[in-house]
Structure 1
Amino acid sequence: MTETLDPADTGAVASAVGAAAERLHTALVENRPCAPVRELIGERDITLAYAVQQQLNAHRLEAGAVVVGRKIGATSVAVQQQLGVDTPDLGVLFDDMEYDASAPVDISGLLQPKVEGEIAFVLREDLAQGDLDLDQVAAAVDYAVAAIEVCDSRIADWDISFADTVADNASAGGYVLGTERRTLDGSDGRGAFVPKDAAMTMTVTGQDDVAGTGAASLGDPLVALQWLARQARDLGDPLRAGQVVLSGALGPMRPAAPGADVALTIDGLGSVTLSFSEKE
């Protein structure tokens, strides 16, 4: 691991950030894992890690990708303890990351995918002004849906520190959304949907079932959304109407092997499935 960079040495800092972003971009483009970037930027310099993420994502924007939302990671105590932190992280969702549940995901386009069951929120209002308290955040949600997130690390063997996963766009890979939409205030005539109380089960071919509730994500997925809204604004890129937000895992991740089928059910949000192609 590199020694801590001196923030006053702007040249060294810029060089380290650029090298880390280029390493991750090459891994993404060439579809092959790379060494951790913490050796370039340190394990816990989150400011530098987000700077790397911004440069990495700029490559995708330059190639024509469109931002459609955000994801929150490290929302569970267990994952935070594993990474040695006490805060979540965030990443960007691009338009080519959404999968169609009716067709298998081409697993050859992923490096080392894992799946999580989550509640996704679709926003009807920007979250850019005001106190961003829980009432404001909840009112900005158009609807909630069940979601399967596909996490994927460009870092070989998932050998990540917190800085590694932040730099690597929060280990974002892809996602699929369910079709059953619920409003939080009950305006859809079905009663209010309470994310923190929603029970989740997820099955993955050949593995133990996963169970959890909305409370696994920072105690309440709306609290996770609030954290994201504030952090995104602090980073100069606030959440916007129409964006999708993956609000954090409701249970442990499971690896996605070739040919695996994933089925997720969240009480009140119905089910969503995803399958992975066999390797040729």
Structure 2
Amino acid sequence: MPTDTRGALHAAVPSLAAELAEAERTRRPIAQPTSSHPDLTVADAYEIQRRNIARRVEAGERVVGRKIGLTSLAMQRQLGVDQPDFGAILDTMVVPHEGEQALDDLVAARAEAEFTFRLASDLVPGESAFTFEQVRDAVGEVMLSLELIDSRIADWKIGLVDTVADNASSARLVAGPGVPATRELLDTLPDRILTLTRDGETVGEGPGSAVLDHPLNAIVWLADSLAQYGDHLRAGDLVLAGAVHAAVPLAAGSTFGVTSPGLPDVTVRIV
């Protein structure tokens, strides 16, 4: 099992966690954390994220899953990073399929088309790294989803450390109806095209292979990464595998959707 990577933390971790929490509450973004603290590490950023998720859980929210970000070359190029990251999905972040999301509740939100998976069993770390087969066997359902990402950091001026601290730029999840994760379906995911639409017009598109060659590879990466921080994925968790295209800004009055042949569509109205 990977060793715990937590060590001595940057002195600014508590204050930055408080600033990001306030920015989310007020929808007034803060300056880029690494511009004033260039020595912040990824471990510092995940501790900032952990503190703010813990604060929300203490207030009554529930963690219902995880998102994996920056798994495609398109998103890495858009944000200028070179590796994935992860964040938490809480119950208050979930918007129902065919529901509505107020744009004013967010700062500078963007939409992404993704595969989301519901786990049927725990992925508990062992003595060695997780395998593709372990993850495949743990997946119970597949669904199309819209991830509405957002940045509590001004003007999306972020690097890897900044977005990790900001819960991997998570905001909302709109998941479509789930279908059983048969071996046959999972094997086709790299070749399936996901299309993001705005009022019926295509605004983003990409194959499942854009996500680390196979979306399940993203979950392998996540399971190994969580183990390094003393955590693991659990049965019932929703896991967003990452976008297949560059994120698209939201627009009030528009309906965004994700389609892929043979899978149920998902839509949300932005108001």
TM-score by length of 2: 0.90
Aligned to 1:48: 44
For 2:41 and 2:149, locate their aligned partners in 1 and report how far apart those are by CA, in whole Å. 22
For structure 1, the residue ranges without an aligned partner over 5 or more in a row are 1-6
User: Deviation of residue 44 (structure 1)?
Assistant: 6.5
RMSD (Å) for aligned C-alpha atoms: 2.1
Aligned to 1:18: 14
Aligned to 2:220: 226
User: Deviation of residue 247 (structure 1)?
Assistant: 0.3
Aligned to 1:3: none
For 1:168 and 1:154, locate their aligned partners in 2 and report how far apart those are by CA, in whole Å. 7
Aligned to 1:158: 156
Aligned to 2:99: 103
Q: Structure 1 counterpart of 2:156, which letter? A: W
Preserved contact between residue 196 and residue 202 of structure 2 (Cα < 8 Å): no
Preserved contact between residue 98 and residue 266 of structure 2 (Cα < 8 Å): no
Preserved contact between residue 81 and residue 159 of structure 2 (Cα < 8 Å): no
User: Deviation of residue 39 (structure 1)?
Assistant: 3.2
Preserved contact between residue 183 and residue 193 of structure 1 (Cα < 8 Å): no
Aligned to 1:184: 182
Aligned to 1:61: 57
User: Deviation of residue 105 (structure 1)?
Assistant: 0.8
Q: Which has the larger strand fraction? A: 2
For 2:162 and 2:142, locate their aligned partners in 1 and report how far apart those are by CA, in whole Å. 30
State which structure, 1 or 2, has the greater radius of gyration over its C-alpha atoms. Answer: 1
State yes or no: 1:170 paired with 2:168: yes
For 1:21 and 1:239, locate their aligned partners in 2 and report how far apart those are by CA, in whole Å. 24
TM-score by length of 1: 0.88
Deviates more, 1:230-239 or 1:202-211: 202-211
Q: Larger relative contact order (C-alpha < 8 A, sep ≥ 6)?
A: 2
User: Deviation of residue 254 (structure 1)?
Assistant: 0.5
| % identical aligned pairs | 38
Deviates more, 1:168-177 or 1:193-202: 193-202
Corresponding residue pairs, total: 264
Residues 199 and 182 of structure 1: CA distance in aligned 2, closer, same or farther (over 3 Å): farther
Aligned to 1:198: 192
